[in-house]
Structure 1
Amino acid sequence: MYTSYNEACGKDCSDLMTDLKLCEKAGMDYIEIRLDMLRDFLKTGTLEELTDFFAKSRLKPHAINAVYLRQDFLKEDTGAADDPVMQDFLLACEAGKAIGSHYMIIVPPLDPSGVFTGNVQEAEKDCIHILKKLSEFARPYEMNLCFELVGLKKSCVRTIEAADRIVRAVDEDNVGFVFDSYNIYLCGKCNDFSKIREVQPEKIFAVHLMSADDVPEEEMGQDKRCFPGEGVVDTDAFLKTLGETGYNGMVSVETFRPQYWRQTPEWVIENAYRTVHEALKKNDCLSYL
């Protein structure tokens, strides 16, 4: 498996070009580019500059992160181009085609109230409909969609089993998974990753690796993420289970920790690389580009 960095780790203390240079210096194999940081870069920079950087760098782009779905998205065929979700999707497609990124993270609908109160079965049907449509739109860009379950109560897709039902029903070769160790843990503090063995292994397109603070369930949230090896998520079991499926792709560190954002970009990226490298090496799954 290959080291990767998700820009969420230092999003409030860095910028895209800084991240690219520091990831290359640290030894990362891949980077996941955040859409908000890409937009900030494009205010003064160009996709051509990014293309030129990657052409000369050993660092490679992986997934563009992330497009957040709504249940009513693509319910109507008209006006989709003006929808903010579609604008994010098209930017990811266009940027990916330019720089050589072939993956995009897709997040299921999240209830802003903090608890999903809708009909879960209907929400799954909506996800299937949306992913089928986006699969078609993505093909000219050679883009693959990485569907990401989110274990928080505000999510309509909280478990590996639910995500698997959706991806199987979509049944498109460019729609698969990104498995995130903490997003799985968030549903009932789950450290049992065995259900990963039951999905179609060729559909595992990307992996996010991190641990988290040990807090009561009502305090759990994305801001509790920390670098792998430091918290309560069994990242060893997670990586070993992925290895049993034959997965040998990128493993991207993704945290949303405010304490990290108060550090320097150098500190964030050096520690992200150190911890993901140590985790992969410890579990005998480290590869090099």
Structure 2
Amino acid sequence: MKLCFNQGSSDHCKGHSMMADLEAAERYGFDYIDLRFDVLDDYLKGHTAEELAAWFGSHHLKPSSYSGLLFFNWKRTDEEKQKVFDELNRLIPIFNTIGLRTIAVIPSCDIKEHASIEEIKDDAVWMLNRMADLCEPHGISLALEFIGMGSFTINRFDTAYDIVTAVNRDSVGMAVDLFHFYAMASNPADVAACDGKKIINLHLNDAEGLPIGAPYLDDSKRLWPGDGCIDKKAVTDALKACGFDTDAIPAAVEVFRPEYYGLTVDENVKTAYEKTKAFVERYFS
């Protein structure tokens, strides 16, 4: 299984930059990198997509996915929807240039309406179909990432899976993040019973042993893969059972822990590689 570094893991380290991440990820043995939206935008203020493509072309490390297109659903006006489509149209030429083929799409949160799950599903299906219409001609896939916090419109595996199943397009799948899976008590049995081909993005991490659904069980409580209370074997066994493609989909480490941001970029990426490699060897070998 190939290993991937998500730039969110080092985003607030001192001296952080696109090139610092790329060079450290290459040095310590990662195969892929997930490009974070704010890091990419900062890089492009002083560089071109062609420069980034040239770097990837001369190194082992390659881009895996974009993390991510924020708050894509539950847009209540045509203008709000168009802003999502405009952002996709801005990004697609960049991704074509650098060879990035997967976009993680993040659901909206803190909506004002008391929307039902079915209303949220229907809306997300409509939006993902329109977004896929834009991305498919370029060979770009969308990975719906459920966010395991009560304020988010799509916060469990089963809801996200229902949505991508209803969309029923090869270019639309889902992301599974172990922290989000744990934080709203998604069920490994649902993973074992699903079509594993619909899981096209995997994020590895762990969590402190805090109450499920607690408002303080947030991203700051993430831990390196293997260091927390998540039942890793249950989730990874379910991924194996459903036919998740470990040859095609890399394992991406993604943590947002403040104490890890106190490390240098080099220390952060080195530790991330060691923890991710050990996790994969234990649970996916």
Q: Tell me the TM-score normalised to structure 1 length.
A: 0.90
Aligned residues: 278
Q: Deviations for 1:219-248, whole angstroms, at most 9, x for unmatched residues? A: 201111110111111223322322223321
Mapping for residues 71-90 of structure 1, pairs under 5 Å? 71-73=73-75, 76=78, 83=83, 85-90=84-89
**Which residue does 1:5 correspond to in 2?**
5
User: Percent identical across equivalent pairs?
Assistant: 26
For 1:38-117, list aligned pairs within 5 A. 38-73=40-75, 76=78, 83=83, 85-111=84-110, 117=114
Q: Deviations over 1:147-170 (max 9, x none)?
A: 111121011222221111111111
Is the alpha carbon distance of 1:74 and 1:118 closer, same or farther for their aligned partners in structure 2, counting shifts above 3 Å?
A: closer
Counterparts in 2 of 1:251 and 1:244: CA distance versus 1, 3 Å: same
Q: Which residue of 2 aligns with 1:199?
A: 194
CA distance in 2, matches of 1:267, 1:98: 30
The normalised TM-score by structure 2 is 0.91
Determine if the alignment matches structure 1 residue 210 to structure 2 residue 209.
no
Q: 1:127 to 1:80 in 2, by over 3 A?
A: closer
Distance 1:284 1:207, change over 3 A: closer
Whichever residue aligns with residue 156 of structure 2, its letter is T
2:225 matched to 1:228?
A: yes
Amino acid in the other structure paired with 1:17: M
> AA paired with 2:255?
T
In 2: Cα distance, 1:72 partner to 1:234 partner: 32
Cα offset, 1:252, TM superposition: 0.4
| Coordinate RMSD, CA, aligned | 2.0
Residue 32 (structure 1) aligned to one of 31, 34, 40 = 34
Deviation at 1:79, TM superposition (A): 7.8
Give the drift of 1:110. 1.3
Q: 1:223 to 1:98 in 2, by over 3 A?
A: same
The Cα offsets for residues 46-69 of structure 1, whole Å up to 9 and x where unpaired, read as 101111011111111101011122
Alignment match, 1:268: 268
Q: In structure 2, the residue corresponding to 1:229 is in which secondary structure?
A: coil
2:208 partner amino acid: D
Looking at structure 2, the residues matched to 127 and 39 of structure 1 have their Cα atoms a distance apart, in angstroms, of: 26
- Give ranges in structure 2 of 5+ residues lacking alignment: none
